């Protein structure tokens, strides 16, 4: 399987920034500081379970 | 809005606090933020400030040098008083025991402001963070806060005049060690953030291929011993590398903006930094530029975008302060802020979005 990391990153950015461009940048930088650089993932990126776990935790925080 | 700053160099705690109280007497503060040299006994100054301003929330920390409107100081205490025309509401909490921190503080914020942290509008609220400067836990704290809320927390790591023995944070009359103070403010006035660092990225890239994150240690860059790869990127011999640490740190570069990570020392072939760096991070080698010119330009850009500044809280890295002292530029740096009520201190680390080095992070109120 591939592309789940990219989908989760997009979802987190959308969920947290709600279209605010400044917030989108902040959320991307927070992810980079966690070691997850959005630019390194696309729809063909393998589904890395460690990264998916981190992103899943982050998605739950904002529910 | 009403923002009043004060400073005292009186040696005795009670005399210094009385001096501050006298200078701040034109303001009826809802909060008093203060930064004090560790020469002032921490328990006594925390209690004396709370006693002097019983109607206000008082909080602050120890420093490695103080900043007040137009001046850089040492062995002093500086304070900023904000009244109800500046801040509608403020709540201060302490995060104790940074080895196993509880984030109950954020539940207290939710109760105080009657809003879940996750729903708080970052255009309406702002957070201040003051952390024990020797805890080496800042990245974890900032990361956790960043997960909990979109509200921006800006701040600094407390100092102790380069003794590196103990730093303290203060909240409502009590001094705390190995702790962090978090304050959540609802300003009446508009506000913005300024992050400025005097570095420009150079072409070489250093990818962290092996790290010991807990120890803030990079073992390998580009699959080579870290110091070897760093020296190669600089074009210098390995034994000359450490001499370049201050002028050539490394940084995460995002949207042309460096987030500086400063090397502290070489440990065998590894490099130990002043903040944690994760495996896989791609870093740029940085080249130092002019702190005075860059800070002046950053403030001018803020004024151009948002208007006249009414108050500044400045968290300025001790490494920047040391460079300014070494070059005899502290007066010039202080002058950049002349005319604007401002306080700050020389920090052991700066926080904005993440934990940073060799940076000044500032909260600007308009």
For the segment B195-225, what is each residue's pLDDT rounded down to a tens digit?
A: 999 999 999 999 999 999 999 999 999 999 9
For A35, which of B148, B259, B279 is closest by C-beta distance?
Answer: B279
Average pLDDT, chain B: 97
The residue of B120, B254, B359 whose CB has the most chain A CBs within 10 angstroms, and thus the best one to mutate to test that interface, is B254
Give me the mean pLDDT over the B231-253 stretch: 97
What pLDDT score does B151 carry? 97
A63 or B117, which is more confident:
B117
The answer to whether the CB of B104 falls within 8 A of the CB of B313 is no
For A16, which of B150, B252, B259 is closest by C-beta distance?
Answer: B150
Give me the mean pLDDT over the B277-286 stretch: 96
pLDDT tens per residue across span B119-136: 999 999 999 999 999 999
Determine the Cα–Cα distance for residues B77 and B98; give it in Å rounded to an integer: 26
For A30, which of B146, B279, B280 is closest by C-beta distance?
Answer: B146
Determine the Cα–Cα distance for residues A24 and A42; give it in Å rounded to an integer: 17
Name the token pair of B83.
Answer: 């009244």
A61: confidence class by pLDDT, cuts 50, 70, 90:
confident
pLDDT tens per residue across span B307-325: 999 999 999 999 999 999 9
Is the pLDDT reported for residue A63 higher than 70? no
Contact partners, residue B325, CB within 8 Å, separation at least 6:
none
Eight-state DSSP code of residue A46: B
How near does any CA of chain A get to the CA of B264, in Å? Answer: 19
Percent of chain B with pLDDT over 90: 99
Name the token pair of B138.
Answer: 């800042």
What pLDDT score does A62 carry? 63
- Taking residue B291's Cβ as centre, other Cβ atoms within 10 Å add up to 25
Place of tokens 């072939």: B269
What pLDDT score does B2 carry? 84
The answer to whether the CB of B202 falls within 8 A of the CB of B213 is no
Q: What is the ipTM of this complex?
A: 0.90
Eight-state DSSP code of residue B217: E
Determine the Cα–Cα distance for residues B211 and A47; give it in Å rounded to an integer: 23
Instruction: Flag if B150 and A32 touch (Cβ within 8 Å).
Output: no
What pLDDT score does B285 carry? 98
Is the pLDDT reported for residue B187 higher than 70? yes
Report the residue count for chain A: 63
């Amino acid at each position: 399987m591939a592309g789940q990391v990219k989908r989760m990153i997009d979802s987190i950015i959308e969920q947290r920034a709600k279209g605010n461009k400044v917030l989108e940048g902040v959320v991307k930088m927070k992810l980079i500081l966690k070691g997850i650089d959005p630019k390194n993932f696309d729809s063909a990126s393998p589904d890395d379970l460690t990264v998916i776990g981190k992103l899943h935790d982050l998605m739950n925080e904002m529910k | 809005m009403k923002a009043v700053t004060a400073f005292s160099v009186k040696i005795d705690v009670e005399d210094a606090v009385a001096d501050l109280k006298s200078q701040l007497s034109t303001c009826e503060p809802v909060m008093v933020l203060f930064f004090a040299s560790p020469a002032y006994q921490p328990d006594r100054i925390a209690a004396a400030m709370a006693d002097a301003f019983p109607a206000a929330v008082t909080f602050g920390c120890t420093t490695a040098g103080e900043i007040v409107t137009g001046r850089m100081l040492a062995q002093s205490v500086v304070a900023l008083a904000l009244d109800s025309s500046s801040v509608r509401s403020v709540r201060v909490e302490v995060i104790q025991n940074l080895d196993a921190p509880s984030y109950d503080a954020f539940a207290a914020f939710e109760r105080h402001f009657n809003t879940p942290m996750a729903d708080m509008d970052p255009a309406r609220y702002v957070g201040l963070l003051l952390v024990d400067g020797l805890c080496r836990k800042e990245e974890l704290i900032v990361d956790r806060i960043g997960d909990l809320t979109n509200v921006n927390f800006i701040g600094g790591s407390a100092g102790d005049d380069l003794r590196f023995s103990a730093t303290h944070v203060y909240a409502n009359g009590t001094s705390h060690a190995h702790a962090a103070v978090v304050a959540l403010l609802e300003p009446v006035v508009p506000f913005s953030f300024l992050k400025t660092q005097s570095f420009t990225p150079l072409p070489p890239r250093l990818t962290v291929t092996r790290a010991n994150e807990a120890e803030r240690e990079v073992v390998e860059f580009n699959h080579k011993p870290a110091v070897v790869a760093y020296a190669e990127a600089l074009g210098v011999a390995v034994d000359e590398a450490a001499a370049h640490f201050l002028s050539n740190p490394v940084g995460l570069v995002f949207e042309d903006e460096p987030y500086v990570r400063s090397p502290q020392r070489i440990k065998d072939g590894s490099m130990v930094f002043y903040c944690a760096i994760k495996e896989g991070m791609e870093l740029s080698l940085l080249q130092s530029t002019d702190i005075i010119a860059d800070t002046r330009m950053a403030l001018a850009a803020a004024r151009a975008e948002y208007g006249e500044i009414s108050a500044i809280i400045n968290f300025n890295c001790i490494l920047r302060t040391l460079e300014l002292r070494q070059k005899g530029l502290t007066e010039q740096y202080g002058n950049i802020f002349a005319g604007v009520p401002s306080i700050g201190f020389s920090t052991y680390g700066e926080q904005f979005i993440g934990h940073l080095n060799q940076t000044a992070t500032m909260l600007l109120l308009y």
